[in-house]
Structure 1
Amino acid sequence: MDTLEIRTHDREELLDITPAVRRAIRENGWSDGALLLYCPHTTGAVTINEGADPDVVRDIVVNLRKLVPRQGDYRHAEGNSDAHIKSSMFGCDQLVIVEGGEVRLGTWQKIYFCEFDGPRTRKLWVKWLGA
């Protein structure tokens, strides 16, 4: 298993980690199989979404703030309940296909690390599942 270290810069952001995932595939010589991407943080997530238009990521972040505001009827003492809820909405893992040493994504797709309680240094576990 590999670990990607991700440095986030804002409290809430989606970071394109596709290049880091491709680099891990290349450096490990993985060819055909699947790759499990797992976020071991309860206030972070991993997702796949459009990467061609940066306004999509902006729209996701802005509208998540409206759906789950930072201040609300929360009891969690740490003050980051919204981050836990947002993380649960996205989930902690993604499974991607690797074929011929390349991650198979749709034309417009990118892989994103979702930060909901940053900025922080985060980990993303990468587990190769060979064919």
Structure 2
Amino acid sequence: MFRKIIHLSTRREGEIIDLTPRVVAAVRESTVREGQVHLFVQHSTAALTTIEYEPGALADLVRALSVLAPDDAEYAHNTKWGDGNGRSHVKAALVGPSLTVPVAGGELCCGTWQQIVLLELDANAGRERSVICTVTGE
């Protein structure tokens, strides 16, 4: 098993960061040829998923999440804590904190148009984020 923490800084809510090159580098560093890589973001207002990393698809994702958890809705979290990021927690819970990708021949098994991304969802961004990258296999 190989574990690496990917550290990154975000600037704003709605930012989508392509993690694919960093994950590819971690898989190569691990020397695992056949197995899987598991990613877990250690924050409740960020999420991980895959998407075609192009402006239209990214804008569509941001828009879809804003429909599911609108900025102007009332959130009990905001009432309790006063930090204004209730929607951020809801969006992160909907997308999820983890992702697993197969590894074959020492390479990620992502599709041609599929990239691994971190979604910065915190209304109070920029943040320092940590993604635990665990590679297992042979």
Aligned residues between the structures = 130
Of 38, 43, 48, which residue of structure 1 is paired with 2:45?
43
1:45-89 deviation digits (Å, cap 9, x = unpaired)? 1001122x3210111112322331223221212221100000011
In structure 2, runs of 5+ residues without a counterpart are: none
Following superposition, the deviation at residue 30 of structure 1 comes to 2.2
Instruction: State how 1:1-131 maps to structure 2 within 5 Å.
Output: 1-51=3-53, 53-76=54-77, 77=81, 78-117=83-122, 118-131=125-138
Residues in 1 aligned to 2:136 and 2:7: alpha-carbon distance in whole angstroms: 20
- Could you tell me the percent identity over the aligned residues? 34
Superposition RMSD on alpha carbons, in Å? 1.3
Contact 2:32 2:136 in 1 (8 A): no
Residues in 1 aligned to 2:32 and 2:56: alpha-carbon distance in whole angstroms: 33
Residues in 2 aligned to 1:112 and 1:60: alpha-carbon distance in whole angstroms: 12
Residues in 1 aligned to 2:126 and 2:71: alpha-carbon distance in whole angstroms: 15
| Structure 1 ranges of 4+ moved more than 4 A | none
Which amino acid in the other structure matches residue 129 of structure 2? Answer: R
- TM-score if structure 1 supplies the norm length? 0.92
